């Protein structure tokens, strides 16, 4: 007799799903975690993690054949698509989507999801981020404030392990950090110059990163070894992932069942009770349909897929699915616009070099529209970057050929500074995803149709980002400062957010302040879908905090008999 009934079902096993599973199992619930892709066992399945470039047939570069096999993902030859990570991203052939506007959607369909492939930058939103919508009359106000989430930021930071400095900046609240990675001597110099030049209004700080910088034997994790091979999975568990952190904790309780190859088709909705009673899945291997029942459901399928699950559920009650009564389900798609930044040469420092491959860099937090800084657009942006000496892959024009070329390139070149900007995208009702009426995936399910793009505010901001970075570089004595920009489409930031926003009013939002679907309070959506605005900082830490907060609330509500 197979037991198909659990206290809770968690849909998705990435960053937020792993947190939901950990929190709910530790609070004593029997949890089924569903994952549409295959299993990835920590360490054992990190098949590339001990390889160097020379161990890959094309030394890590994607072949034309590989690019041609994934034309949608390979557009622009973005960083995710290379020989090192090939296979770790979802296959467009089995899981297509429709683009009314260009949209790059990087999905990781396996246990751990994108927690194995993320950039690991971890920042708190600031108090203003939660208030700006309300003050500026943009979209709707967040139903929570910074103080509501602050303790949960601390809670998740302590467990996940976030390395960083307490920088004392109001724009970027400090957290409970492990020791930060080191800035190199050049970055320290530039940080000092920037602070002086802008009279303490602009800062270059060490990136805050989900890497442990101290061993944690109690978690089975060793500290980051500075190999910079994070996207191959880390056998030390040096960075936070489902496999390194939340999954072992959840399994240790004995309360977790993990079911890979389980494609969620829909949530089963009881319209009399106004509750979801379970989840219907398709087994990806047997194609068999199975229903699992539970008291509560956590949707952590990643932003757009969580919206998809809602849209494909309870369609007999609402044409546009569960949570659509506000008319906002699938709308307000956000991301962080990027693919632009600045480069410059750093004069001098030729007596200095570094040891190790630091898997993070510096961060220049938002300064636009902050304090006395006023712009012709709303909100702001930050820059990630690093100072480093050029490698052999520098421009070899003018270096000749032969022994001297080999000699020159076998030594480090001059110091350069490189940054990439990430800008806030405003929530806009017109930016939306919906179910395609014509295209289905390999399992016969309707796919998403993307209709979202950056608009005036973001376009103005991009211009300012390019101007500002060059001005800053020039002002602190860097040479040959240049802005760079290449094509950005929505989604390319891999920070997609929105589509099931939190709010105070069921008429204008999909979720309440506890991430409960207004139309089915035993369903919690705690991944990026819940975001009411996007801030300009990397969002994953916020999903972790909101998930832990919602899980705590859910268990209390279960005890009170409210769910």
Q: Does 287 bind other proteins (CB under 8 A)?
A: no
Which residues 473-502 are close enough to bind other proteins by CB under 8 A?
none
Phi then psi dihedrals of residue 290, to 5 deg: -135, 140
**41/136 with CB nearer other proteins:** 41
Binds other proteins (CB under 8 A): choice among 247, 307, 420, 502: 247
- Three-state DSSP state, 333: coil
- Three-state DSSP state, 75: helix
Binds other proteins (CB under 8 A): choice among 13, 16, 110, 133: 110
Q: In terms of Cα–Cα distance, which of 330, 333, 312 is closest to 263?
A: 312
Q: Does 392 bind other proteins (CB under 8 A)?
A: yes
- Options 47-55, 119-127, 455-463, 477-485: segment touching other proteins (CB under 8 A): 47-55
Q: Does 93 bind other proteins (CB under 8 A)?
A: no
What's the burial of 217, exposed, middle or buried (CB within 10 Å: 0-12/13-18/19+)?
exposed
Rounded to a whole number of angstroms, the minimum distance from the CB of residue 336 to other proteins is 21
- Three-state DSSP state, 262: strand
- Options 9-17, 246-254, 333-341, 501-509: segment touching other proteins (CB under 8 A): 246-254
Largest CA distance in the chain: 81
Residues that bind other proteins (rule: CB under 8 A) add up to a total of 97
Written as six digits, the tokens of 109 are 């369909």
- Options 34-42, 131-139, 158-166, 368-376: segment touching other proteins (CB under 8 A): 34-42
- Options 141-149, 236-244, 427-435, 531-539: segment touching other proteins (CB under 8 A): 236-244
Q: Does 209 bind other proteins (CB under 8 A)?
A: no
- Three-state DSSP state, 437: strand
Rounded to a whole number of angstroms, the minimum distance from the CB of residue 439 to other proteins is 26
Q: Does 41 bind other proteins (CB under 8 A)?
A: yes
Q: In terms of Cα–Cα distance, which of 289, 225, 246 is closest to 111?
A: 246
Q: Does 62 bind other proteins (CB under 8 A)?
A: yes
Binds other proteins (CB under 8 A): choice among 16, 27, 81, 85: 85
Orientation angle between helical segments 540-559 and 146-160, nearest 10 degrees: 100
**243/294 with CB nearer other proteins:** 243
Beta carbons of 122 and 115 less than 8 angstroms apart: no
Beta carbons of 79 and 6 less than 8 angstroms apart: no
What's the burial of 294, exposed, middle or buried (CB within 10 Å: 0-12/13-18/19+)?
buried
Binds other proteins (CB under 8 A): choice among 80, 113, 143, 233: 233
**55/170 with CB nearer other proteins:** 55
- Options 97-105, 132-140, 240-248, 316-324: segment touching other proteins (CB under 8 A): 240-248
Q: In terms of Cα–Cα distance, which of 562, 115, 134, 139 is closest to 331?
A: 139
Strands (E), 390-500: 415-424, 432-440, 446-451, 479-485
CA dist 38 and 284 (Å) reads 9
Q: Does 71 bind other proteins (CB under 8 A)?
A: no
Q: Does 375 bind other proteins (CB under 8 A)?
A: no
Which residues 311-350 are close enough to bind other proteins by CB under 8 A?
350
CA dist 563 and 548 (Å) reads 18
**217/561 with CB nearer other proteins:** 217
Which residues 267-286 are close enough to bind other proteins by CB under 8 A?
283, 285
Binds other proteins (CB under 8 A): choice among 272, 316, 319, 351: 351
**200/400 with CB nearer other proteins:** 400
- Options 251-259, 369-377, 420-428, 456-464: segment touching other proteins (CB under 8 A): 251-259
Which residues 394-453 are close enough to bind other proteins by CB under 8 A?
396-398, 400-403, 405-407, 409-412
Binds other proteins (CB under 8 A): choice among 5, 165, 197, 226: 226
Rounded to a whole number of angstroms, the minimum distance from the CB of residue 92 to other proteins is 15
**11/84 with CB nearer other proteins:** 84
Buried b or exposed e, range 105-129, using 16+ CB within 10 angstroms: bbbbbbbbbbbbbbbbbbbbbbebb
Binds other proteins (CB under 8 A): choice among 57, 137, 444, 561: 57
- Three-state DSSP state, 511: strand
- Three-state DSSP state, 21: helix
Beta carbons of 344 and 211 less than 8 angstroms apart: no
Rounded to a whole number of angstroms, the minimum distance from the CB of residue 363 to other proteins is 16
Q: In terms of Cα–Cα distance, which of 466, 436, 378, 411 is closest to 138?
A: 378
Q: In terms of Cα–Cα distance, which of 260, 275, 259 is closest to 313?
A: 275
Binds other proteins (CB under 8 A): choice among 357, 430, 479, 559: 357
> Per this entry, what is the length of the chain?
563
């Amino acid at each position: 007799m197979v037991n198909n009934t659990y206290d809770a079902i968690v849909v998705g096993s990435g960053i937020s799903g792993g947190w939901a599973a950990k929190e709910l199992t530790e609070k004593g619930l029997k949890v089924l975690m569903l994952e549409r892709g295959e299993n990835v066992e920590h360490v054992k399945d990190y098949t590339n993690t001990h390889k160097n470039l020379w161990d890959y047939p094309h030394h890590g570069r994607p072949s034309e054949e590989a690019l041609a096999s994934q034309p949608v993902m390979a557009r622009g030859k973005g960083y995710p698509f290379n020989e090192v990570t090939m296979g770790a991203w979802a296959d467009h052939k089995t899981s297509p989507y429709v683009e009314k506007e260009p949209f790059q959607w990087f999905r990781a369909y396996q246990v751990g999801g994108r927690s194995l492939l993320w950039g690991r930058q971890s920042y708190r939103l600031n108090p203003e981020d939660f208030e700006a919508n309300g003050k500026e009359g943009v979209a709707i106000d967040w139903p929570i404030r910074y103080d509501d989430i602050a303790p949960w930021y601390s809670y998740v930071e302590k467990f996940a392990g976030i390395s960083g400095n307490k920088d004392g900046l109001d724009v970027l609240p400090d957290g409970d950090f492990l020791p930060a990675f080191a800035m190199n001597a050049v970055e320290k110099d530039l940080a000092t110059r920037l602070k002086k030049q802008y009279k303490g209004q602009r800062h270059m700080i060490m990136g805050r990163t989900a890497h442990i910088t101290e061993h944690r034997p109690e978690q089975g994790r060793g500290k980051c070894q500075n190999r910079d091979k994070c996207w191959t999975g880390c056998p030390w568990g040096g960075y936070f992932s489902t496999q390194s952190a939340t999954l072992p904790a959840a399994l240790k309780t004995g309360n977790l069942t993990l079911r890979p190859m389980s494609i969620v088709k829909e949530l089963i909705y009881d319209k009399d009770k106004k509750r979801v009673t379970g989840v219907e899945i398709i087994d990806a291997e047997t194609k068999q349909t199975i229903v699992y029942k539970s008291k509560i459901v956590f949707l952590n399928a990643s932003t757009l897929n969580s919206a998809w699950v809602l849209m494909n559920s309870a369609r007999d009650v609402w044409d546009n699915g569960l949570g659509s009564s506000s008319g906002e389900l699938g709308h307000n798609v956000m991301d962080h616009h990027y693919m632009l930044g600045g480069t410059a040469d750093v004069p001098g420092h030729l007596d200095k070099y570094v040891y190790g491959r630091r898997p993070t860099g510096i961060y220049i937090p938002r300064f636009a529209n902050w304090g006395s800084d006023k712009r012709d657009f709303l909100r702001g942006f930050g820059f990630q970057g690093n100072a480093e000496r050029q490698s052999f892959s520098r421009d070899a024009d003018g270096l000749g050929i032969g022994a001297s070329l080999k000699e020159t390139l076998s030594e480090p070149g001059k110091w350069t500074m490189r940054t990439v900007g990430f800008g806030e995208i405003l929530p806009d009702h017109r930016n939306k995803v919906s179910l395609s009426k014509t295209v289905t995936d390999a399992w016969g399910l309707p796919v998403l149709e993307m209709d979202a793009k950056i608009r005036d505010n973001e376009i103005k901001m991009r211009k300012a980002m390019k101007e500002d970075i060059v001005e800053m570089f020039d002002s602190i004595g860097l040479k040959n400062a240049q802005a760079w920009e290449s094509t950005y489409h929505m989604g390319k930031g891999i920070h997609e957010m929105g589509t099931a926003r939190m709010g105070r009013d069921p008429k204008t939002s999909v979720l309440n302040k506890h991430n409960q679907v207004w139309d089915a309070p035993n369903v919690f959506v705690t991944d990026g879908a819940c975001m009411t605005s996007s801030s300009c900082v990397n969002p994953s830490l916020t999903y972790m905090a909101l998930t832990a907060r919602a899980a705590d609330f859910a268990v209390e509500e279960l005890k009170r008999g409210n769910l």
